[in-house]
Amino acid sequence: MTEEQKQQSTSCPTGQEFEAPSEKKTVPQEQLQRESDYVRAQRVLESMLDKGLISLSEFNKITALNRESFSPMLAEIMP
For residue range 26-60, list pLDDT tens digits in order.
Answer: 778 888 888 888 889 999 999 999 999 999 999 99
Nearest to 8 by CA among 17, 54, 59, 16: 17
| DSSP class of 37 | H
The pTM for the full model equals 0.60
The radius of gyration computed from the CA coordinates of the chain, to the nearest angstrom, equals: 19
Q: Is residue 18 very low, low, confident or very high in pLDDT (cuts 50, 70, 90)?
A: low
Q: What is the model's pLDDT at position 50? A: 97
Q: Is residue 78 very low, low, confident or very high in pLDDT (cuts 50, 70, 90)?
A: low
Q: Which residue has the higher pLDDT, 71 or 14?
A: 71
Is residue 74 within 8 Å of residue 34, measured between CB atoms? no
> Alpha-carbon distance 28 to 36, whole Å?
13
> Alpha-carbon distance 26 to 39, whole Å?
20
